[in-house]
Amino acid sequence: MKTTLNIDDRLLAEARRLTRIEEKTALLHAGLKALIASASARRLAALGGTEPAVAKIRRRSAPARR
């Protein structure tokens, strides 16, 4: 899909410098993937410990190290 965007030149230059991705399309794809991963991780972390009806999981003890 083609889209017209207005992106700050300094922001684009900084992203290119840090990632070494020169192609604009590839740079935007990488940025969107990183944004999605970050937001997904935040949502998953926010869910931590919020299911009170779950039975406690029995954990096996780790084997002794020699």
- Consecutive 10-residue averages of pLDDT for the chain (66 residues): 94 97 96 97 83 78 73
pTM value surpassing 0.75:
no
The pLDDT value recorded for residue 39 is: 96
Query: Which residues span the domain enclosing 30?
Result: 9-47
- Tally of domains within the chain: 1
Task: Quote the pLDDT of residue 59.
Answer: 81
- 26 within domain boundaries: yes
Q: State the Cα–Cα distance between residues 12 and 17, nearest whole angstrom.
A: 9
Q: Is residue 57 part of a domain?
A: no
The confidence score (pLDDT) of residue 61 equals 80
Q: Give the tens place of pLDDT for each residue, 13-27.
A: 999 999 999 999 999
